[in-house]
Structure formats: C-alpha cells, structure tokens
Amino acid sequence: MSSTSTSLGLLSIADLSLLEVNSILALASQLEAEPHGTRIRRLDGRRVALLFYESSTRTRTSFELAAKSLGAMTTLVSDKSSSIEKGESLHDTGLTLRALGAECIILRSNYSGAPDLLQRSTGLPVLNAGDGMHQHPSQALLDLRTLLEHWNLSSDISETTLAGKTIVITGDIRHSRVARSNSMLLPRLGARVLLCGPEALLPEDALTLAPHLEIERDFDTALQHADAVMMLRIQRERLSGLSIDLPTYIAAYQLNARRIAPYPNLLVLHPGPMVRGLEIDSTVADGPQSRIERQVTHGLAIRMALLHRALIHTGSPA
C-alpha cells in the first residue's frame, strides 16, 4: 500500500494536467476492480468530513460511499442541522472539523471559490463537490469516464483521445458549474464542444470559458453534429429574476423522442437532477441511448480515486 508524501485537494478541473487526469482515471479503475477486502484497507480509519451547504443526492452519496468503500470514517455536516444555521462561518466550521480530526473535507457550497477559502483556512485537502456557478470537477471526470467507456476509448488519455467527437452541452449554461468544468476539460482531449441554449441562459461570453468552444443556438442543428449530448436543467434557484417562458423553451430545447429519432448512435448524458418533461422527456431519459445511470455509477469510482489521491498521494497507483 502507498505511503503519504503530499496530499492533494481538487478545487477546479483547470488545476489538473492531462497526466493527472490520466492517473485519476487509472486509479479509479484499479480501485473499482480491487476485491473488497483489499480496498477497505486503503483508507482504514481515516477521517473524511462532508460539508454540504447545498442539497445534493448523487455527489454526497457517492463521496460518502466512496470513502466508506476505502475504509474511511465519514461525518456529514449540512447547513440544515448544524451550527452553520446559527451563522457559523465556513472558516470556523473548517477549523472545528480539523480539530475533530478530519483529514479531508468535501465541500458543496453556493459560493464560487468557497473550497479554495476552506483549503487555505484549514490546510486540509478540500475536494470541491460543486461551488456556486464555478466548478464541479469530479462531475467532469465522471462524465469523461462515461464517454471513454461508451466509445471504447483508452483511459490512457492524450490531446487527441476525443478528436473527431462533438459533444453538445444544452440548457442553462449560464448557471452551470457542470458546463464550466466540462467545457474546460473536453476540448483539451481534442473534442469539439458546442454550447447550445437561448441567450438568457447562454450569454456570448460563455465562449471565454475555454479556447475552441462554439455556440449553436438552434438545438436541431447542433444535434446534426453531435456524438454526445449533455442536457442541463434550468437552475431555478439561481435565476435571480431572470424569467424563462417554459413552453417556448421546451419547444426549442427539450430532448425528446422526436428530436432523438434521427440519431440512434447519439449518446445522452445528464448530470442530474433531471426535471423530466422540461429539458428531457422520460422516453429519452430511460431509453437505450441514455447513460445517465452509468454516469452516477462512474461517480463512485472517480470519487474513490479523488479521496485516495487526497489522502495517500504518491503520483501513481500503488
């Protein structure tokens, strides 16, 4: 088993070189394949705190199960049932968790940049589980693993691994940390990324997120080019007065049986939570082209790798 040399949090997908992404993908596969008896000793007795200031199903549960699968102890602190509700700051909450022996903190926050602040406050590795409209790096990694698996591509990635593939990201890109993280990662592997949505949810300045992004406002045109489509929900909690006419939006941007019919090889992804009947209909969400459940499953392996990397980092799998 590896020994500790340095420990690493993950704040943004931009912080990872392709070599590091490679090593996370390799570690995820290794840990996933390991027998339970071996895996459970990896982080035996290590202490992981899950600090969730925003609701989550997939990310929270998969980080928790990932930590437990590696033998770590976990504790969940949520804003609804902790002293955060009484006004305790992120800084003080972090110091409290550190004083209780937490060695790594997984943070979801509605404030962009909060994971960076917490990592600096505590000196502990912080894994960003989604911060405001900023980043969701573990989601981008699990999305990448889903694409590589489906296309039978090696997880030994390079700048050309996704050359020739077009991925369309459709919906509320303005408020989406998932879109941001994926827009930064996928073009680095050679993918063409088309952003699709109305001006209100996809401002032109989205093109500044990363080099080589393109905007196609017409969803049917975008789909003609797509090998995969990533659907995003409208984030009602972040609209701040922005009003969207839902019937118009659904007519233009919903992924439904009619839209998908000409493209039987199109791969469908959604980070969840889905709003069925709005950005996606159930025929597509539950249909044979959907990899939505597979994305969730990949989240477990990716998050095991991130926890292992944060707590026992040697630069390569043991």
Q: What character string, x for contact with ligand CP (CB under 6 A) and - otherwise, covers 205-224?
A: --------------------
Task: Candidates 87-95, 181-189, 260-268, 269-277: pick the segment binding ligand CP (CB under 6 A).
Answer: 269-277
Closest CA to 48 of 303, 316, 271: 303
Q: Is 176 in the site for ligand CP (CB under 6 A)?
A: no
Q: For 58, how many CA atoms within 13 A lie in the half-sphere containing its CB?
A: 21
The answer to whether residue 56 forms part of the interface with ligand CP (CB under 6 A) is yes
Q: Which is nearer to ligand CP, 63 or 253 (by Cβ)?
A: 63
Please report whether residue 115 would count as binding ligand CP according to CB under 6 A: no
Tell me 238's DSSP state.
Answer: G
Tokens for 3, please give them: 């020994």
How far apart (Å, rounded) are the C-alpha atoms in residues 243 and 253?
Answer: 16
CB of 317 to ligand CP, least distance (A): 26
Q: Does residue 271 belong to the site contacting ligand CP (CB under 6 A)?
A: yes
When the beta carbons of 42 and 299 are compared against ligand CP, the nearer one is 299
Amino acid in position 209: L
137 touches ligand CP by CB under 6 A? no
By CB under 6 A, is residue 57 in contact with ligand CP? yes
Q: Do the bridges between strand 126-131 and strand 104-109 make them parallel or antiparallel, or are there none, so unpaired?
A: parallel
**Cβ at position 251, least distance to ligand CP in Å:** 26
Task: Decide: is 237 part of the binding site for ligand CP (CB under 6 A).
Answer: no
CB 275 within 8 A of CB 234: yes
- Hey, what are 182's tokens? 């994926």
**One residue of 9, 94, 115, 130 binding ligand CP per CB under 6 A:** 130
Report the C-alpha dihedral over residues 55, 60, 62, 66, rounded to 10 degrees: 180
**Measured between alpha carbons, how far is 167 from 220 in angstroms, rounded to an integer?**
14
Cis amide leading into 187 (omega within 30): no
CB of 57 to ligand CP, least distance (A): 4
The tokens describing 158, both together, are: 């390079």
Q: Which of 123, 273, 287, 315 is in the footprint of ligand CP by CB under 6 A?
A: 273
Q: How far is the CB of 276 from ligand CP (least distance, A)?
A: 15
Q: Find the binder of ligand CP among 139, 182, 183, 254 (CB under 6 A).
A: 139
Q: Is 171 in the site for ligand CP (CB under 6 A)?
A: no
Does position 109 interact with ligand CP (CB under 6 A)? The reply is no
User: Is 67 in a helix, a strand, or coil?
Assistant: helix
38: contact with ligand CP by CB under 6 A: no
Sheet holding 47-52, edge to edge: 73-78, 47-52, 104-109, 126-131
List residues binding ligand CP (CB under 6 A): 56-59, 130, 139, 271-273
